[in-house]
């Protein structure tokens, strides 16, 4: 979907007041209204655009989102929630390690395998930490669906060091 600049559609500046937006909308709506241009498909499409632009720019909340996120303004809150969740879950890339206990997974009996991986709940609230050797590296890796289902060995270079993955 192509980005539509609502300010250009209405012919107003980004700093336009609500009154200026309303005035520009009314002027264009009178000119492009489908009743006044019954056989003009271009006028009908432009009329729909100015209605959409007015709907967004005349609402202060929608306008703030539009100004902040541009063409993706409708999904801005989802982006913020995902970003916030990532920071809470993974420490926001701060290098902080996340440790888990059986309590984090609803308690209950876990096998020795899970206890060794995530720590045991023995001792009440004291959390035993799992120690890992080596440094932490942060990198992004994009995989397509076929790569996810195929097992193969690959060597990546992260921060100048080679890392082998399977």
pLDDT digits (tens, 9 = 90+) for 132-150: 666 666 777 777 777 777 7
pLDDT digits (tens, 9 = 90+) for 19-38: 999 999 999 999 888 888 88
pTM confidence score = 0.47
Q: Which residues contact 50 (CB under 8 A, 6 or more apart)?
A: 9, 10, 25, 28, 29, 32
pLDDT digits (tens, 9 = 90+) for 40-80: 888 888 999 999 999 999 999 888 888 888 877 777 777 77
pLDDT digits (tens, 9 = 90+) for 9-22: 999 999 999 999 99
pLDDT at 152: 79
Write the DSSP symbol of residue 161.
E
User: How far is residue 96's CA from residue 99's CA, in Å, rounded to a whole number?
Assistant: 10
User: How far is residue 62's CA from residue 52's CA, in Å, rounded to a whole number?
Assistant: 11
Cβ atoms 19, 37 nearer than 8 A: no
Q: Which residues contact 65 (CB under 8 A, 6 or more apart)?
A: 73, 74, 76, 77
Strand partners, 156: 163
């Amino acid at each position: 979907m192509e980005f539509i600049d609502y300010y250009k559609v209405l012919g107003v500046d980004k700093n336009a007041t609500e009154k200026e937006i309303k005035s520009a909308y009314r002027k264009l709506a009178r000119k492009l209204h489908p009743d006044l241009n019954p056989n003009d498909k271009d006028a009908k499409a432009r009329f729909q655009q100015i209605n959409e632009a007015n709907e967004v720019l005349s609402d202060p909340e929608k306008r703030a989102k539009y100004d902040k996120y541009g063409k993706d303004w409708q999904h801005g809150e989802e982006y913020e929630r995902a970003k916030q969740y990532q920071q809470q879950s993974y420490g926001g890339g701060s290098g902080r390690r996340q440790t888990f206990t059986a309590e984090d997974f609803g308690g209950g009996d876990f096998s020795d395998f899970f206890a060794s991986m995530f720590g045991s709940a023995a001792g009440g609230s004291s959390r035993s930490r799992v120690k890992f050797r080596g440094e932490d590296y942060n990198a992004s890796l994009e995989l397509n669906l076929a790569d996810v289902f195929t097992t193969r060995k690959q060597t990546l270079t992260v921060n100048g060091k080679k890392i082998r993955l399977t």
